[in-house]
Amino acid sequence: MEELILELKKQIIEALNLEDITPDDIDTNAPLFVEGLGLDSIDALELIVLMEKNYGIKLEDPGKSKEIFKSVATMAEYIQKNRTK
Amino acid sequence: MAVYIQAAAQISVQNPLCDDWLDNPVSYDVPFQRCIEADYKRFLDPVASRRMGKILKRAIATSVTVVEATGINDPDAIIVGTGLGCLETTEKFLMAMLEEGEEFLQPTNFINSTHNTISSHIAVHLKCTGYNSTYVHLGVSFESALLDAFMQFQLGRIKSALVGGFDEMIPNYFKVLDKVGFWKGKMAGETAVSFMLADNPGKNPMACINEVILLHNPDKERIEKAITDTSTRLGISREDWITPPSVKPLFGESFSNHAYDVYAAAVKMQRDLLPDNVLLVNKYLESETSLIFMTKC
Amino acid sequence: MEKIYVTGFGIITSLGAGTADTLESLHHRKSGIGPLRWLESMHSHLPCAEIPFSTDELRRMAGVSKEQTITRTSLMGIIALGEALQMAGIREKNSLNRVLISGTTVGGMENTEKFFLKMLTPDKTYDDYILSHDCGVCTQMIADHYGGFDMLSTLSTACSSAANALIMGADMIRTGRTSIAVVGGSECLSKFHLNGFNTLKILDKDPCRPFDDTRAGLNLGEGAAYLVLESEASVKARGVKPLCLVAGYGNACDAYHQTASSPEGDGAVLSMTKALKEAGLKPGDIDYVNAHGTGTPNNDESEGKALMRVFGADSVPPVSSTKSYTGHTTSAAGSVESVISILAMLNNFLPVNLNYKNPMEMLSFRPVTDEKPPRPIRHVMSNSFGFGGNDTTCIFSKI
């Protein structure tokens, strides 16, 4: 799981172009949206692409994805359960 | 009617956000040069600007600079001229689509590829809900934006306007245009200039704009007639207009680079380095010509 | 304030080429949305509203030779412009003190995307398309096909481009720079923006349902439309019969987010209010609103709330979106829908909002389902709201 979390943080940094941020700067359990990193709806769409491209998980509805994208921890949990890649 | 250039700021192949280019220009001997970037951390939070390519960062930096210089925080209009728009993000989206297929494309690159994303980013950054438009007409893109702003002042709709010319160039697109001889031996550059225009001089105005004219496929007679008609209307003798040499060679070629001619004229007029009446003429191939009439404030 | 007349217009969309076909489709509630025919994409399951002519057919209709390198966007523009000039009785090739202001975002991308990889190699086969890529050159190709335009410009404000072109042209007449301003836009479908909109997850897999509670997104369309705007003096001098008035227009920026409209439609309220003020009209004077109405959850709620704020919750005039007929013609939408609004006014009918079944409970009004207007249509309003918050409203009035 630790490996997945680190991998996921690196992918998030790349997908969202968070230039000056390292994996250590991202708190695994902190909120990703509104507070914490302060991501928005476009970032949510980017994360949906990330999930499908890297892990084969298709998320059709950006609205329902709110719970999955709550934090890196919740994302990693969902990936572990549902990945096809 | 005169519109005042209260402040102007540039980022280019010359040193950014200053006027070193006037006495100490950087010289180049390359076919293609990208801008010398400013320190954008001063203007933008890195996380907030994560999606912005260079053209957007330059637009925000030059816009904020003229806002700060004039204290006009909420201009009545934001109008941008760009010939090719956001090439970097357009290329990212296009190449991913062509090389990797239509499956895992990134929305950020698409959103930031549309031409009007520049004026819209400026508006969101400044929280400005006024008139907002973007012109994309070849080598007179900037002048189209300037003409629109000028008309808004003429019609009494606005008291201030943030007008900018922005263009970027990327290696692949430079190569493709080079293939068809577009650059004609001149250096390809990039453009980022913002002007704060107002219906009043403010503290230290740079120059006045008295008329902006655009002509399509004009012959010499039409151009001359436009100049003489305007001279008569402005009460200035035809012979009193001086056209200074273009500064484009200092800044490189790009669709909106005539913005540097306006910028340089304004800087020089403010410092009494140019006479009182300046006529700027810009010709894009033979098909589009612009005339900008400027006077000392 | 000086009067600005509309003396002609031309249109080509998925409903067909010309105002007659457009009018017939509107009356017969016939949508142009269907499966992709011309554009090659893996997303061929997405309903779109393509013009029912191949690019070769458009070339023949426009009278452009096989040898000329030209874009689909320009061909569509040439056809629509031809109808507009003919309707306005403008035949001369020499200058008549007229300008063309055109809106586009795709420009020549529809060709560039096909040939870009080849353009990057030493292969010169597709090099002619390199200089026909950008937006401005498309306008030149449309204008120079007919000749006689003193000045050109090109606008790109996403989905409000053509509406802003109208503002620019009208302002050029108001400031005495021209007597005639031909204004509008043209946009063909491209893989680039089909995929772009798809990544934003705002495309509906089914035909769109503007102002329906179950709406799930928009369908992309392609189209071109131009209007001939003319000063009163020019109309008198040429002895032409004006069709209607450009009563007013307004441009504002939502300044909220790159792709989403503010929840209460602030930018839309501003553009509609500005347009009413410029027209010297009260909200109660408007007899029909052609909404931007894309069919996305965000737009229709935001625009709906804005309409309620401007007109009062109990007095929203008849509203419909005609994007369920033409699809979303993006940069051309402002002029396509202005033409449709004017046709509605001149023929005194309300374009029905297709595919509507389930009311949006948060809105106090329902879209038009009956063609018969409750009162004669004297003033119509057309809204166009673009990505980046570029919001524009145009109002046309009967003479």
Question: Which chain A residue is nearest to residue C197, measuring alpha carbons?
Answer: A45
Q: What angle do CA B197, C99, C275 make, to 5 degrees?
A: 60
For residue B81, give the H/E element and its range: strand B77-81
What sign does the dihedral C20-C22-C25-C29 (CA atoms) show? negative
d(Cα C48, Cα C189) in Å, to the nearest integer? 9
- Rounded to a whole number of angstroms, the CA Rg of chain A reads 12
Q: What angle do CA B43, B45, B47 make, to 5 degrees?
A: 145
Instruction: Give Cα separations from C103 to C77, C155, C185 (angstroms).
Output: 10, 5, 4
In the numeric block, the tokens 């999930």 are attached to: A51
Closest CA to C305 of C291, C322, C323, C284: C291
Instruction: Give Cα separations from B174 to B136, B151, B179, B190 (angstroms).
Output: 18, 34, 9, 11
Q: Packing angle between helix C109-119 and helix C191-199, nearest 10 degrees?
A: 100
Q: Which parts of chain B are beta strand (E)?
A: 3-11, 77-81, 131-135, 160-167, 191-198, 207-216, 277-284, 288-295
Map residue A46 onto helix, strand or coil: helix
In the numeric block, the tokens 């602030």 are attached to: C266
Chain C adjacent subunits, 3+ CB pairs under 8 A: A, B
Structure tokens at A73: 């921890």
CA distance to partner chain C, nearest, from residue A62 (Å): 8
Contact B248, B283 (CB under 8 A): no
d(Cα C244, Cα B42) in Å, to the nearest integer? 52
Contact A65, A47 (CB under 8 A): yes
Catalytic residue (choose from C133, C145, C193, C292): C292
Question: A–B: how many Cβ contacts below 8 A?
Answer: 33
d(Cα C217, Cα A59) in Å, to the nearest integer? 16
With contacts defined as CB-CB under 8 Å, which chain A residues touch C199? 45, 49
Contact B59, B164 (CB under 8 A): yes
pLDDT band for B112, please (50, 70, 90 cuts).
very high
- Rounded to a whole number of angstroms, the CA Rg of chain B reads 19
For residue B224, give the H/E element and its range: helix B220-234
d(Cα B146, Cα B209) in Å, to the nearest integer? 10
**How many Å separate Cα B138 from the centre of its chain?**
12
Residue B49: the pLDDT is 87
For residue B165, give the H/E element and its range: strand B160-167
Contacts for B100 with CB less than 8 Å, ≥ 6 apart: none
On the CB side of B32, CA atoms within 13 Å amount to 13
Map residue C395 onto helix, strand or coil: strand
Q: What is the length of chain C? A: 399
d(Cα C268, Cα C302) in Å, to the nearest integer? 8
Closest CA to B173 of B275, B266, B89: B89
Backbone angles phi, psi at B189, to 5 degrees: -130, -160
In the numeric block, the tokens 């009208």 are attached to: C170
What sign does the dihedral B56-B58-B62-B67 (CA atoms) show? positive
d(Cα C383, Cα C163) in Å, to the nearest integer? 8
Residue A62: the pLDDT is 65
d(Cα C322, Cα C343) in Å, to the nearest integer? 12
| Percent of chain B with pLDDT strictly greater than 90 | 97
- Interface predicted TM-score (ipTM) of this complex, two decimals: 0.97
CB contact under 8 A, B129 and C252: yes
With contacts defined as CB-CB under 8 Å, which chain C residues touch B116? 105, 156-158, 386-388, 390
DSSP letter, residue B138: G
CB contact under 8 A, B130 and C253: yes
Whether the per-residue pLDDT at B129 is higher than 80: the answer is yes
Q: Residue C193 catalytic?
A: no
3-state helix, strand, coil in chain A (%, to 5): 55, 0, 45
Please indicate if any CB of chain A lies within 8 Å of the CB of B44.
no
d(Cα B142, Cα B136) in Å, to the nearest integer? 8
Instruction: Give Cα separations from B65 to B6, B9, B196, C320 (angstroms).
Output: 12, 7, 10, 44
d(Cα C317, Cα C382) in Å, to the nearest integer? 12
Map residue C120 onto helix, strand or coil: coil
Q: Residue C292 catalytic?
A: yes
For residue range B262-296, list pLDDT tens digits in order: 999 999 999 999 999 999 999 999 999 999 999 99
With contacts defined as CB-CB under 8 Å, which chain B residues touch A19? 46, 50
Closest CA to C355 of C199, C219, C200: C219
Contact B65, B42 (CB under 8 A): no
CA distance to partner chain C, nearest, from residue A40 (Å): 10
Exposure string over A50-82, b if 16+ CB within 10 A, otherwise e: bbbbbbebebeebeebeebbbbbebbbebbeee
With contacts defined as CB-CB under 8 Å, which chain B residues touch C387? 111, 114, 116-117, 120
Spell out, as residue ranges, where chain C has pLDDT lower than 50.
none
Map residue C91 onto helix, strand or coil: coil
Quick one: residue B138, left, alpha or beta (phi over 0 = left, psi -120 to 50 = alpha)?
left
Structure tokens at C307: 């309409």
Strand partners, C228: C8, C182
Question: B–C: how many Cβ contacts below 8 A?
Answer: 196
On the CB side of B290, CA atoms within 13 Å amount to 28
d(Cα B108, Cα B134) in Å, to the nearest integer? 20
CB contact under 8 A, B107 and A15: no
For residue range C269-314, list pLDDT tens digits in order: 999 999 999 999 999 999 999 999 999 999 999 999 999 999 999 9
d(Cα B75, Cα B158) in Å, to the nearest integer? 8
Whether the per-residue pLDDT at A60 is higher than 80: the answer is no
Chain C interface disruption, residue of B114, B117, B211, most C CBs within 10 A:
B114
CB contact under 8 A, C153 and B135: yes
Catalytic residue (choose from C135, C159, C188, C208): C159
User: Could you write out the DSSP letters of every residue in C188-236?
Assistant: ---HHHHHHHHHTT-B-SSS--TT-TT---B-BB-EEEEEEEEEHHHHH
For residue range B169-225, list pLDDT tens digits in order: 999 999 999 999 999 999 999 999 999 999 999 999 999 999 999 999 999 999 999
Whether the per-residue pLDDT at B41 is higher than 80: the answer is yes
Contacts for B190 with CB less than 8 Å, ≥ 6 apart: B12, B13, B34, B35, B55, B167, B168, B169, B252, B254
Whether the per-residue pLDDT at B46 is higher than 90: the answer is no
